Amino acid sequence: MDRRSFLRNSALGGTAAAATTLAAPAYAQGNRTLVMVTSVPDGFAVFDDAAVYLADLITTMTDGQITVDKRPAGALVGAFEVFDAVSSGQADMYHSADYYFGGQHPGYYFFTAVPFGGTGQELANWYYHGGGQALHDELGQIFGLKSFLAGNTGLQPGGWFNREINSAEDLQGLRFRMPGLGGRALGLTGASVQNVPGGEIYQALSSGSIEGAEWIGPFADERLGLQEVCDFYYTSGFHEPGSALSTAMNRDVFDSLTPAQQKIFEAAAAATHQWSLSQSYANNAAALERLVSGGTQVKQFPDDVWDAFGAASQEALDADMGDELYARIRNSFDASVASTSAWTSISDDVYRQQRDRIIG
């Protein structure tokens, strides 16, 4: 019995199990509603905005043949339970950040962000033109999923702190919220890392259970209210230089769609990725101005902290190289980013330097 069959037959109750075994022709006929579970509450800037945009696109592009019923974190399953819910057939699809599921397979880290990895554009280059999408699909097949990128936050800041970080020594014992491989790396510097769901970050900071947290960027962080509970904002981080969001559909459900509907799902996800990345960059500067006006102190990490991040990140990235699929994903990703950087370092980067010098 393959993993999909095992999960379908053992993890579900009768109603959900029956839903996953309906014949494909019955699914393809007429209008239908797909349940999409997400990892954040309703209204979260950038993250939930992308989920709403994706759901609306699918409904519009299918002329209403498919309606997406979006369920926020906690409504059907918890924030970090959406992967298992869709893999098992309890829900039809999810919208989330795939690095939450690195425990399922470490290859998933690369489909959100890895420390000192690719920017949002570099990630897209790899995904759409460097073999990344095929590797995402290969990974999804293990768990009965059909996966696509569907959002991007852009570079994420170093985060919010209730005290300044003046040296690498200040990281020792720091209780900090950071998921993914970045969190693993931060832990290697001596910090005490916690993976708190987005909907619980504010309360965790308010209660003092954590001393700092990273989220998305000024636009999203402002809406979450993190400026109310922390004074210091480090605006450049090592952990997520271009964080993708993803959508995944239960593979049996995806296979039941018509070829046109499958292509619509893929196109809607790609459009959401670009729309979301632009949303972040279009709104972050104005949001940061408001934060600073309200008293937020903007900081940058000193070089010895960056050095500590670098050494720890290399160790974190190397830890899973014994896994054959992880190694293929990482090598493919690294080669693509290196190729992109070889060009942008003598084109885009030089242009921006000269533009800033001449125009300011």
Tens digits of residue pLDDT in 143-157: 999 999 999 999 999
Name the burial class of residue 29, with classes exposed (0-12), middle (13-18) and buried (19+) by CB atoms within 10 angstroms of its CB. exposed
Confidence of residue 181 (pLDDT cuts 50, 70, 90): very high
Q: Which pTM value belongs to this model? A: 0.90
pLDDT in tens, 227-281: 999 999 999 999 999 999 999 999 999 999 999 999 999 999 999 999 999 999 9
CA atoms in the 13 A half-sphere facing the CB of 214: 24
Q: Which of 95, 40, 22 is nearest to 252 (CA)?
A: 22
pLDDT of residue 176 exceeding 50, the answer is yes
Domain boundaries, the chain: 28-151+242-281
131 — phi, psi (to 5°)?
95, 0
For the domain spanning 28-151+242-281, the CATH number is 3.40.190.170
Share of the chain above pLDDT 90, in %: 91
C-alpha–C-alpha distance, residues 96 and 78, integer Å: 12
Check residue 30 and give its pLDDT: 75
User: What's the average model confidence in pLDDT over 116-145?
Assistant: 98
pLDDT of residue 290 exceeding 90, the answer is yes
pLDDT of residue 3 exceeding 60, the answer is no
pLDDT in tens, 23-51: 333 444 579 999 999 999 999 999 999 99
pLDDT in tens, 223-236: 999 999 999 999 99
C-alpha–C-alpha distance, residues 308 and 66, integer Å: 49
- Of all helices (H) and strands (E), which one includes residue 33? strand 32-38
Share of the chain above pLDDT 70, in %: 92
